Amino acid sequence: MTEINILALSRVPVCVTCGTQYPDVEQRDDCPVCRDERQFVGWDGQRWTTSAEVAAGHEIRFEDAAGVMTLQLSPRFAIGQRAFLIPQAEGMVMWECLSAVTAAAVERIAGMGHVQAIAISHPHFYSAMLEWSAALGGVPIYLHEADEAWVGFDSPFLRFWGGDRFALTDAIDLVHLPGHFEGSSGLLWKAGPRPGGSLFPGDAIQIGMNRRIASFMWSYPNAIPLGRKSLARLKAHVDPLAFSDLYGSFDGKEMIGDAKASVEASFARYEAALEG
Ligand SMILES: [Zn+2]
Ligand SMILES: [Zn+2]
């Protein structure tokens, strides 16, 4: 993709509340992601910005989180998720995405190596994925096909995968973790960064403040829990996965060591709560 495309993308609408970029429109009355029951329209009404404006007022902070490089907009913007750069033999995988691209961040990433793919857990983190793909040289973006309707544009860089598991590299599988969204997915790094492996679950599994209890919600901002059937379905997708570390969507939300056992205990705790 050319510089001109990147420049054009940096000027299309980005929702201030959820950080989603809408490449195919000049202006939108409302943001479909925020109108959904899982999110919310900002208390001052729908507001738009552009990624160029966000980039002008923020920096992208790089930080090691328990052995994995993370990227985050600083000060916090919109939902405030972090993205991860996971080293692989064939080039890095960018897991999750941010709402703005900065020249400094692109330069720093180039200094670390080549990015072979972007993969994202669910629509709340689609953010400026197309602009990031272009800025990194036209990188494919992997999304679960069950959430295709949430993508508001066509692009030759989109790759929709289906089913329960997709081998992205020799060491990384994308795994379907339905519940929060029908297409919610996670990234399973089978033997990294430590030998027991790690799961990056997006919002499918939310790590609590004590970093030992996890929860599983349909909406986090509106506190709408998953029902019994949805919980059982999610658990059936998590059960076959082997991991010892869990890397959540937000700053500091890591569960390092024995994370699988903690997630299993959290499912049991949730089931007991449903029983009253
Ligand atoms: Zn929004
Ligand atoms: Zn979410």
Give per-residue pLDDT as tens, 167-216. Answer: 999 999 999 999 999 999 999 999 999 999 999 999 999 999 999 999 99
pLDDT of 184: 98
Domains in the chain with CATH codes: 3-149+159-275 (3.60.15.10)
Give residue 15 CA to ligand 1 midpoint distance, Å: 5
Give residue 88 CA to ligand 1 midpoint distance, Å: 33
pLDDT of 5: 83
Residue 29's pLDDT band (cuts 50, 70, 90): confident
From the CA of 80, which ligand is nearest?
2
Give residue 2 CA to ligand 2 midpoint distance, Å: 31
What number is the average pLDDT over the span 229-235? 98
Give residue 158 CA to ligand 1 midpoint distance, Å: 21
Give residue 4 CA to ligand 2 midpoint distance, Å: 31
Residue 1 confidence (pLDDT) above 50: no
From the CA of 78, which ligand is nearest?
1
pLDDT of 127: 98
From the CA of 30, which ligand is nearest?
1
| pTM for the predicted model, two decimal places | 0.97
Give residue 57 CA to ligand 1 midpoint distance, Å: 19
Percent of the chain with pLDDT over 90: 93
From the CA of 47, which ligand is nearest?
1
pLDDT of 4: 60
92 Rama class: left (phi>0) / alpha (psi -120 to 50) / beta: beta
Question: Alpha helix (H) ranges present in the chain?
Answer: 3-9, 32-35, 51-57, 103-112, 129-135, 228-238, 259-275
Residue 161 confidence (pLDDT) above 50: yes
What number is the average pLDDT over the span 260-265? 98
Cα 105 to chain centroid, rounded:
18
